[in-house]
Amino acid sequence: MIVEIIFFISLLGIITMIVLKSIELRSGKKSLFFRMGAGTDHLVYGAYQKIRFVFSHINKHNAVNFLQWIAYHVLSVFHKLFMWVRDKAHRHPHSKKVIDMVKGKIEINQNGGASFFLKKIAEETKE
């Protein structure tokens, strides 16, 4: 219901603008709305020219380059964050031990809690 009301108000506004413009053209006298908007014509035209310039320089190649530029900057921030977390973790002995265990750099203790797969690999390398 609200959408229909907004539509009819917009339609009434459009019809009113067309009627006022036709009266202005027939009489040759500038209307109040024309005089109010005449001072801002250069601003609207300048904004239109800037927008037109931007859109005229956007094509498929430039859009892909722009997206790659954004992806590079986003990924570089994540890379710096990852390196900071990694360095922070390597400063603490317990975290370094856990990281080395995950990478497989520590001797596997037969009595320890290593996975079946790692124990099997350790047995095959001893033979």
For residue 72, is pLDDT > 80? yes
Residue 111 structure tokens: 């009595």
For residues 19 and 57, which has the higher predicted lDDT (pLDDT)?
A: 19
For residue 86, is pLDDT > 80? yes
For residue 108, is pLDDT > 60? no
The confidence score (pLDDT) of residue 80 equals 96
Spacing of C-alpha 2 from chain mean position:
33
The confidence score (pLDDT) of residue 14 equals 96
Considering only the C-alpha atoms of the chain, give the largest distance between any 2 of them, rounded to a whole number of Å: 106
For residues 122 and 83, which has the higher predicted lDDT (pLDDT)?
A: 83
Mapping DSSP to helix (H, G, I), strand (E, B) and coil, where does residue 105 land?
A: coil
Alpha-carbon distance of 23 to 41, in angstroms, equals 21
Would the pTM count as exceeding 0.85? no
For residue 67, is pLDDT > 60? yes
Mapping DSSP to helix (H, G, I), strand (E, B) and coil, where does residue 42 land?
A: helix
For residue 82, name the pLDDT band (cuts at 50, 70, 90): very high
For residue 71, is pLDDT > 90? yes
For residue 16, name the pLDDT band (cuts at 50, 70, 90): very high
For residue 44, is pLDDT > 70? yes
